[in-house]
Amino acid sequence: MEQLEWLPAHPDFRGALRAARDEHDPAARLRACVSLANYNRDFVVTDKLDRLLQTALAELGAATKLTAARVALLSSHTVDHLTPALRVAGVSRRLAVSTHVAPYGMYRQSLLGDDPALAAFQPQFILLALDGQDVAFDVPLEAAESEVDHAIRVRVDELRRLWRCARERYGAQVIQQTLVPVTPSLFGSFEALVPATPFAMTERFNAAIRSAAGEDRVLLLDLAWHPIRGSSALGDPVRWHQAKQLVSPLLAPLYGDLLARVVAGALGLSRKCLVLDLDNTLWGGVVGDDGIEGLQLGQGSPTGEAFLAFQRYVSLLAKRGIVLAVCSKNHLEVAEGAFTNHPEMALRRTDIAAFVANWSDKAQNLRNIAHLLDLGTDSFVFVDDNPAEREIIRRELPEVAVPELPEEPAYYAARLSAAGYFETSSFTADDAARSRNYVANAERRSMAEQATDLDGYLRSLDMTLVTTGVGPVELPRATQLLNKSNQFNLTTRRYTQVEMSELVTAPSSIGLCLRLVDRFSDNGLISVIIARQDPAWAGDELLIDTWLMSCRVLGRQVEAAALQVLAERARKRGVRALIGEFRPTPKNSLVVQHYEKLGFTPAAAPAGASAGATFWRFDVASQSVPTHFIQLSEQA
Amino acid sequence: MTEPEIYASLTEVFRDVFDDDAITLNADTTAADVEGWDSQAHVSLIVAAEMCFGVRFRTAELERLKNVGEFVSVIAKQLRT
């Protein structure tokens, strides 16, 4: 099957690999490897690329911009041959993945008993990959539905125990692979009407896994759902009988990417913003030449319907929280005119948070869009039908994801979906409202430009800061925000949901989730603060382990209001002082003076503090917080 | 495809899979002669050869692939039919 079809073909992959191998500087070698990982590749060159990649990563140690991810694979079949593709896909999704494979078939022992090798690896993620042979149900073919359901419940309960062990013993986020049906049909189309056929049981088992995973905060590698299930290289009986491989080496690049994107999504590295070209991307034809009435869009022509279907898909992405932007070579009035005046447009001008149409080069325009939206270009996906524009962006802004687009617009949506840029580990009401918030932000910005005095502007926003703890409801979104915030993030500590939950439920900890509501919109969760006791500080002092905030509420005095909430809670607990910590990264210089501005006084760094970190003290009894115009509201 | 041509292409496959441009093959070459030729690399070799020659080895043939000579004769046989 065609795989990684969104990645462009390299004219001379092996030649580029050889050139990269001769590169002495490991940082340059890593750059070359990351670039090659973003080209279409079969399993042979993927394996070669992995070997080279590992030399660069080994020499560089922690000195890369990639996010480290330790992934343990526990399986009932052979998976060793899949790890190179996982590591290569990792760097294409900004991860430095290291892998550990537990001996095949030993997953129960690893989780229920002691597995010193696994413990030493300290997995952040544990993939549990089972297969139909392993999960054989001992149920007669004529069994009644209730008997089948009982057998499935027994297996799912066992799985949940294993998940709990993975969490409690290793502190790892579990990723459960769904079962791929491999037994050929016994009854043909009647198959699913017999509850105990292998096929029907696999389907029911997968449905039960999905619902249990939702309850237990386990992530899925849903092979049974993904188009990959149709590949003959998955569940190939020759490879199974030869080497107990469920996934043929042929399919390793795609499998590796599917797993890497789940890990990247959990660590907040998925893309956030979809930047779209207009002519021949969102509609057929060139609006500047053909006029609005000459565009192919909507019912009546197959091409017009294909473009409309793509617009509808994009509009659904916006509804799940993907921010939309337009970057087009056009006159602005002409381009916007098509949005307001074409009756068949599924996308509205108000769906687009940043609308840039001019004749400048698109790389510069993408930088401008990033600035307008307060997002990094590394959160962008750029969709353009023009191969030349795609090449320019890949060269000028290699951090932007630029999928190859098929010639046929009817396949645009499927291609964008296949590329898996927007994988996530949670979906909340805040996500659904995000695109609308970005549009509201643009309005707020224009109001700020009109207001002559800042205090007046801030008062006019009617802001309320709503505080909750980090409970089960808030946990997914709080973890998501924690893992993707880079700029306004004092310590850039990353936690999985499991780690986060442990941290905030400690009796001495204070965990705060803050939402900001103003007259334009509910901005959703915009800040997470965690304070905890730390052995380096006194018993009546709380270290602010984590303080992060979404940049879209910068300049609104939220920091001061948040400190007021935190200080009041601390005071009630008998805490004497809050200790602020700032740990510098290449991205968080924005907050270097955060604690100073809030009135904290410098404190000496304790032994064992991370390099360059600064520490600050705030006496909660005697000090007051800076002025702000935000009302406070506490919710249980 | 002649036998020398098969040898030449198969050599490229081996060099690719083992990432070693110094590999040379003859009929008697076995896993013991090539560094890294373990059971896992063996599967990769077979799949890479299938990709290169556009053939599919049958399970009965897989059991015979103990040296390079067998590899070549199985490929030659498949290419003839």
ipTM of the complex: 0.94
Does A284 touch chain B if contact means CB atoms closer than 8 Å?
A: no
CB burial string A430-452: b at 16+ within 10 A, e below: bbebbbbbbbbbbebeeeeeeee
**Tokens 């696999």, residue located:** A202
Of the candidates A44, A51, A81, the beta carbon closest to that of B43 is on A81
At A344, phi and psi to the nearest 5? -95, 0
**Closest CA relative to residue A180, chosen from A131, A233, A243, A107:** A131
**Closest CA relative to residue A122, chosen from A103, A95, A99:** A99
User: Which residue of A lies nearest to B59 if distances are taken between CA atoms?
Assistant: A238
Residue numbers in B near A14 (CB within 8 A): 16
Residue numbers in A near B16 (CB within 8 A): 14, 44-45, 48
User: What residue spans define the domains of chain B?
Assistant: 3-80
Residue numbers in A near B62 (CB within 8 A): 238, 242
Of the candidates A48, A245, A249, the beta carbon closest to that of B19 is on A48
* Cβ contact A248–B47 (<8 Å): yes
Tokens encoding B66? 């103990």
Residue A56 has pLDDT above 90, yes or no: yes
Residue A450 has pLDDT above 60, yes or no: no
Does A43 touch chain B if contact means CB atoms closer than 8 Å?
A: yes
Residue B44 Cα, gap to closest chain A Cα (Å): 6
Q: What does the pLDDT read at residue A586?
A: 85
Residue numbers in A near B46 (CB within 8 A): 242
| Partner B, chain A 10-39, Cβ-Cβ below 8 Å | 14
The bridge status of strand A125-129 relative to strand A67-75 is parallel
Q: What does the pLDDT read at residue A218?
A: 96
Residue numbers in B near A45 (CB within 8 A): 16
Q: What does the pLDDT read at residue A568?
A: 93
The hierarchical CATH code for the domain A273-418 is: 3.40.50.1000
Residue numbers in A near B39 (CB within 8 A): 243
Are the C-beta atoms of A328 and A278 separated by less than 8 Å? yes
Per CATH, the architecture of A451-634 is what? 3-Layer(aba) Sandwich (3.40)
User: What residue spans define the domains of chain A?
Assistant: 7-65, 66-266, 273-418, 451-634
Does A81 touch chain B if contact means CB atoms closer than 8 Å?
A: yes
**Closest CA relative to residue A71, chosen from A339, A256, A211:** A256
Q: How confident is the model at residue A448 (pLDDT cuts 50, 70, 90)?
A: low
pLDDT > 70 in chain A, percent: 98
The hierarchical CATH code for the domain B3-80 is: 1.10.1200.10
Q: What is the pTM of this model?
A: 0.76
For an interface test with A, the pick among B19, B38, B47 (most A C-beta atoms closer than 10 Å) comes out as B47
User: Residue A604 burial by CB count (10 A; 0-12/13-18/19+): exposed, middle or buried?
Assistant: exposed
pLDDT digits (tens, 9 = 90+) for A346-391: 999 999 999 999 988 899 999 999 988 888 999 999 999 999 899 9
Q: What does the pLDDT read at residue A60?
A: 92
Domains A273-418 and A451-634 share a fold: no
**Cα separation of the two ends of chain A:** 52
Residue numbers in B near A51 (CB within 8 A): 19
Q: What does the pLDDT read at residue A1?
A: 60
* Cβ contact A249–B44 (<8 Å): yes
Q: How confident is the model at residue B64 (pLDDT cuts 50, 70, 90)?
A: confident
pLDDT digits (tens, 9 = 90+) for A221-270: 999 988 888 888 898 999 999 999 999 999 999 999 999 999 999 999 99
Does B66 touch chain A if contact means CB atoms closer than 8 Å?
A: no
Tokens encoding A7? 């990645």
Cβ neighbour number for residue A293 with a 10 Å cutoff: 7
Residue numbers in B near A44 (CB within 8 A): 16-17, 44, 48, 51
Does A607 touch chain B if contact means CB atoms closer than 8 Å?
A: no
Does B49 touch chain A if contact means CB atoms closer than 8 Å?
A: no
Of the candidates B19, B40, B57, the beta carbon closest to that of A80 is on B40
Residue A559 has pLDDT above 90, yes or no: yes
Which residues are within 8 A (CB) of A634 and not within 5 positions of it... i.e. 6 or more apart? Answer: A466, A467, A468, A565
Taking the mean position of all CA atoms in its chain, how far away is CA A30? 23
For an interface test with B, the pick among A18, A44, A82 (most B C-beta atoms closer than 10 Å) comes out as A44
Q: A66-266: which CATH number, 3.40.50.1110, 3.20.80.10, 3.40.50.300, 1.10.300.10?
A: 3.40.50.1110
Write the single-letter amino acid at A583.
Answer: R
Residues B53-59, mean pLDDT to the nearest whole number? 93
Q: What does the pLDDT read at residue A87?
A: 98
For chains A and B, CB pairs below 8 A equal 45
Residues A480-493, mean pLDDT to the nearest whole number? 90
